[in-house]
Structure 1
Amino acid sequence: MNYLKRSRLYLVHKKGQSLLMLLIMSAILVFVLSGIIIQNAAITATNNVTKSAGTTISVAANRDKMFSQMRSSTAKTKTLTTPTVANTKIKKAGSLSTVAYYNITNTASVNASSFDAVSTTTGTSSMPSGGPGGGGTTASSGDITINGVSSTAHTTAFTSNQAKLVSGRNITASDANTKNVVIEKELATDNSVKVGDTITVKTTASSAKKIKLKVVGIYKAKTSSTSMPGNDPSNTIYTSYTLPASISGTVGKSSSVTYTLENSAKEKATTKQIKQIIANSSFSVSSDDASYQQLLQPMKNVQAFAKKIVWLVAIAGTIILGLIIILSVRNRQREIGVLVSLGESKLHIIGQLFAELFTILIGAMVVALLLGSFVGNKVGNQLLAQQQTTSVSNTGSTSGAPTGTPGGGNMPAGKTGGTLRGGMTNQATTSAANKKALKTLNTSITPSSVIKLGGMGLVIIALAVCLAAVSILRLRPKDILIGE
């Protein structure tokens, strides 16, 4: 009788045993499939993270170089001069295919003329206007900070929700070479200024010059805290990067720029290209992928855990099935002895066992395909939630130290557009990462998942049969039939 036919008859005759094997193998394959689809979902999510995390590369003044030049100066009055780079080079680097967008930053200090600046209880501002992020040399500080950018929507303050537009529009690239501005809500309210109005400021130079500015938008700073008395964040006015450059006498040049990448995985290569374009020892080029890493780590953990599930379940399943088959072979020794004594090949008997398990495997795969997606979705999203909670907790415990100098003028490389206050960089990064964090895994069964499941199933039953084959090959029909 054909061994394939015998395997079918055995499964029909031993319904209870066949059902038990089906349940065991179904459980094994359900967890194997869950691991596979969780791993696939984590890989897909990881690829999406690289495109959405917003890794930045910043070009900013090299402070060590600035102080070195100031100390070596022979002038009686030593001033700290902020270097600038031509906008043509900045735009050339911005045209790289790996760059999604870039934000040029210049700052200048002026005095309010047609309106009153918001004052704090005590103190006056003494921050020099020529810090990193500003243009020109030091001068007496005014009560208003002009923060020139390519786009307010792409500054750290706005992307981290520390500032939010409440009226009018944002500053965009089309505002270059204009005097359009976006002012803070408290400053606007105190001076009864609304969108469309014109305000006037004065430069801080000895020959003060008045500049009329058109208000095109009003933003709200979410906190009024400031680390510098007399320097209220409401006194920060956003405008195009060209206006501070004209005030400081550096037209056509800028002091810093931040490039946001299309794909965070291209960070190293893009940094190298930008360094080649902007080759200047007075500037440092550095990247900030903290948000990317914070988003990526939970995905890596989920992916690694899913891989462990697949291997652990596969190994455990092979051992369990192998032990079951070995016990089954012991109970079927007389049957096997009769078959061998009748001339049946031991390889055919092993083939019969494989055929029996293969038939059960087909049924178990159907059950796994029905339940695997549900189990994988529950397990995957629970694991993702746990990993993200752990990641945020770890980040929060290490981001308490403030970064940047008071007033947001001295920003660390990797940030752009200026912050409204010092000490907000790490919090902003965490907030941005939390905003983009993946809340759920998109687990689904794909054709590749089914192929992997089938392959894993075949490997499991093949190894299980191989374990049992050792005892079958050692059987001697004569010893079996005489009861030894």
Structure 2
Amino acid sequence: MNLFKRAWWRLTGTPGKTLMLIGLFFVICTLVLSGFLIQSAAARAAENAKKSVGAVATMQLDVNGLLASGKNNGSEGSGQNPGIIGSAGDLKRDLVDKICQSSVIADCNYTADGAAFPTKSTRLHQPVPAPAGQNTGGTDLFKVDGVRKLDEVSAFRNGDSKMIAGKGIGPDTKKNEIVVEERVAKENKLEVGDKVELKIGDLSPGVDTSEHEFTVIGIYKSSTADTGQYVPAMMDPANQLYTTIEGASLLGGRTTDGGGTLKSATFTLNDPDDLGRLKEDAEKAGADLQIFPISVNDKQYKTLVGPITKTASFATVTVWLVAVAGTIILALIVASNLRERRGELGILLSLGEKKPKLLGQHLVEVVACAVIAIGLAGVGSQFISEAIGNKLLAGEVDSADEEAENESLQPDYSDPSGMGKQGDGRPETDPIDSLDVQLGPADIAKVGTTGLGIAALATLIPGARVLRLNPRDILTKGD
């Protein structure tokens, strides 16, 4: 008799066991397919995050690298620390501008720091005088930051500071233009277009002590109010000035050759994997990466995909556990069925039926149940996996938020201004908190392969004993 007919009669003749087998397969296939869907959704989210955020690479002086290179010449005294670091330690803006032309860079920025002594025409904002007898000579200065784009400075991006008059610093700003805070502007009765004079904030021997003239092109307002207590002038947000790279280099006592001397440069990559290409382009532009190494900081990318990656890892473990457990459970069920059907097996063998066909009949029965279960799983798994995945992801996001809260304050080099801002230690990018589950033919094929593989193993392993049976033993001795 045809084994397919016997399999059909068996399945329709015992509907309870057939439905139980289909139900068990449905649970297994649904969990496996949900795991696959969560994995694929996480992979898509990670790829999209990689494209949208990329990674930020930082380039700045490595003093140890400079000393090891043998290019340092302290006698030149034109570096960031005159007399200690020579011109070989100057990261020039012109060089960085060449690197910024690399095709792997989505955006670039850089910063230079400096300080300036007040003059008779430009006074500091100090609402509370210093305590009597306290030496304030080293702190009674304006803090001067040179930037490429003022609107990329973290304080302006997050709204702590905003322009109230004029314009900010941009790539086309002239080297002698400056932006001042509202309180300094009121203290000195300054308006957009006025001239201010400042002295280089460095008292080292040989440094120019003459006054340098700047034009006020903008006035901004900081949200940090006066405390009512004495604060060193250089630490008071009101005394924060912004100018160009060349302006900050001049006031910082550094060379302005080559467009000015940078503190650091940042490059936002199109893809975190483009770091190698960026380094190649930097070397072609003339950069010595031993002295000015480039290191990538993919903090925002990791923040985005961290929880969803952990969720995908959990889904992978679940798939394997369900597959192994399902195979074992089904194998036990098939073995139990074979034990119950020993009389049927003995009669068929005595009638001359081939042993492989007996095993094939059981395989057809199990595979038929698996196919039905796979179809049902395909209908409901998208909704189930989305609910399960989002629940798991919510837990991972909460854990990530707690870890961020507990982090110590660290410079954030993902700040595209290169300022390395100090904040509350939390990244500016929120983690991905939802899954975009999409069921496709590839997912059905994967779960189908897995389900049929489980069916085959669960049938063949216990069914192998059928090949060792003979009719006499079955019918006379039972088990």
Using the size of structure 2 for normalisation, the TM-score is 0.80
* Cα distance in 2 between the residues matched to 1:12 and 1:189: 92
Amino acid at match of 2:110: I
Q: Corresponding residue for 1:234?
A: 238
Deviations 1:164-196 (A, max 9, x none): 5465797465433366655546656777878xx
Deviations 1:29-88 (A, max 9, x none): 11101111111112222223333445222222345689999996599x976668433433
Alpha carbons of structure 1 residues 329 and 73: separation in structure 2 relative to 1, 3 Å: same
Deviation readout 1:368-396 (Å, 9 max, x if unpaired): 12221222112212222222332333344
Deviations 1:377-435 (A, max 9, x none): 122122222223323333443424x66xxxxxxxx9776636597xx16x45x232xx2
Residue number in structure 1 paired with 2:173: 176
- Distance across 2 between alignment mates of 1:62 and 1:228: 32
State which drifts further: 274-283 or 444-453: 274-283
Contact persistence 2:76–2:83 (CA under 8 A): no
Residue 265 (structure 1) aligns with:
273
Question: Which residue of structure 2 lines up, in the alignment, with residue 407 of structure 1?
Answer: none
**Matched residues in 2 for 1:262 and 1:47: separation?**
12
Quote the Cα distance in structure 2 between the aligned partners of 1:467 and 1:175: 75
TM-score by length of 1: 0.80
Cα deviation for residue 315 of structure 1 reads 0.5
User: Which one of 349, 353, 368 corresponds to residue 359 of structure 1?
Assistant: 368
CA drift of 1:479 comes to 2.5
* Corresponding residue of 1:218: 220
Residue equivalent to 1:121: 128
- The AA in structure 2 aligned to 1:452 is K
Q: CA deviation at 1:305?
A: 1.0
Q: Is the 8 A contact 1:188 1:218 kept in 2?
A: no
Q: Structure 1: any 5+ residue segments left out of the alignment? A: 128-140, 404-411
Q: Secondary structure at the match of 1:209?
A: strand
SS in 1 for 2:211: coil
Deviation, 1:220, is 3.9
Let me know the Cα RMSD of the aligned residues. 3.8
Q: Distance in 1 between matches of 2:463 and 2:361?
A: 11
Distance 1:431 1:279 in 2: 31
Change (3 A) 1:47 1:210: same
Q: Take 1:447 and 1:441, find their aligned partners in 2: how far apart are those partners?
A: 19
The equivalent residue for 2:204 is: none
Q: Does residue 151 of structure 1 match 2:149?
A: yes
Equivalence map 1:51-450=2 (5 Å): 51-63=51-63, 83-110=89-116, 111=118, 117-119=124-126, 121-123=128-130, 143-158=141-156, 161=158, 163-165=160-162, 167=164, 171=168, 173-177=170-174, 182-184=179-181, 197-205=192-200, 206-215=209-218, 218=220, 220-221=222-223, 229-231=232-234, 232-245=236-249, 250-251=256-257, 252-255=259-262, 256-271=264-279, 273-274=281-282, 277-279=286-288, 283-400=292-409, 417=417, 419=419, 424=422, 427=424, 430-432=426-428, 435-450=429-444
1:307 Cα offset (Å): 0.8
Question: Aligned equivalents of 2:399 and 2:471: distance in 1?
Answer: 61
Post-superposition offset of 1:27: 0.6
Query: Deviation at 1:116?
Result: 5.5
Q: Which runs of 5+ in 2 are unaligned?
A: 201-208
Change (3 A) 1:52 1:182: farther
SS at match of 2:144: strand
For residues 169 and 334 of structure 1, the distance between their equivalents in structure 2, rounded to whole angstroms, comes to: 96
Alpha carbons of 1:42 and 1:65: their partners in 2 closer, same or farther (altered >3 Å)?
A: closer
For residues 434-469 of structure 1, give each alpha carbon's deviation from its aligned partner in whole angstroms, at most 9, with x where no partner exists. x24212121221221111111101110010011221
Letter of the structure 2 residue corresponding to residue 93 of structure 1:
I
Q: CA deviation at 1:103?
A: 0.5
Cα distance change, pair 125–376 in 1 and its aligned pair in 2 (3 A) = farther
> Aligned pair count?
451
Deviation per CA, 1:180-227, whole angstroms, max 9, x where unpaired?
655546656777878xx3343212053213322211x63545687899
Contact 2:122 2:198 in 1 (8 A): no
SS of alignment partner, residue 220 of structure 2: strand
How far apart are the structure 2 equivalents of 1:113 and 1:387?
Answer: 58
Partner of 1:473: 467
